[in-house]
């Protein structure tokens, strides 16, 4: 199965109404995480990004130099994605973040900017871990 955005038309930037329609019950978690990032980092910049027709639209919140977190809309749910450098990875491994997240980070290919991970959000079960990852990202 292809893993791509629910929004594939480059000519149409998604709106909040589009998100609500396509994410359904998980829209509240999208909003909760977005608000959480801005509570922690009020100077964040948000934008929709269209990296190519293979992936479609994604949403990101950035600080001055880098993305804090990516939001990847899917049909009925969404994913969040992060890239962590070695320092942040070492911190994550010492926390109580879910072991599956740690294992996925350790298994991720290492690039110059770090290791990337995406986490599905279908319910509230991993929201607290995602918030911990946001805090680590902002601190490192």
Q: Specify the pTM.
A: 0.94
**Cβ count within 10 A of residue 97:** 19
How confident is the model over 29-87, as pLDDT tens digits?
999 999 999 999 999 999 999 998 889 999 999 998 899 999 999 999 999 999 999 99
How far is residue 57 from each of residues 3, 49, 50, 129, measured CA to CA in Å?
12, 6, 5, 25
pLDDT at site 122: 97
Q: Are 37 and 61 in contact (CB under 8 A)?
A: yes
Cα distance between residue 137 and residue 58, in whole Å:
19
Provide the token pair at 64: 């001055």
pLDDT at site 1: 41
Q: How confident is the model at residue 3 (pLDDT cuts 50, 70, 90)?
A: confident
Provide the token pair at 61: 């919140």
The gap between the terminal CA atoms of the chain, to the nearest Å, is 34
**Is residue 119's pLDDT more than 90?**
yes
In the CATH hierarchy, which fold is given to the domain comprising 16-139?
Answer: 3.90.1150
């Amino acid at each position: 199965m292809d893993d791509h955005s629910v929004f594939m038309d480059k000519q149409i930037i998604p709106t909040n109404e589009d998100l609500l329609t396509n994410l359904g019950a998980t829209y509240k978690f999208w909003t909760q995480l977005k608000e959480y990032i801005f509570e922690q980092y009020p100077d964040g910049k948000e934008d929709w990004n269209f990296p190519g027709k293979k992936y479609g639209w994604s949403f990101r919140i950035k600080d001055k130099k880098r993305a804090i977190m990516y939001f990847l809309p899917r049909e009925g749910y969404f994913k969040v994605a992060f890239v962590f450098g070695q320092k942040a990875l070492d911190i994550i491994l010492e926390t109580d973040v879910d072991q599956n997240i740690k294992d996925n980070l350790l298994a991720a290919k290492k690039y110059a900017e770090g290791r990337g991970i995406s986490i599905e959000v279908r319910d509230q079960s991993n929201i607290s871990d995602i918030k911990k990852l946001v805090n680590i990202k902002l601190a490192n």
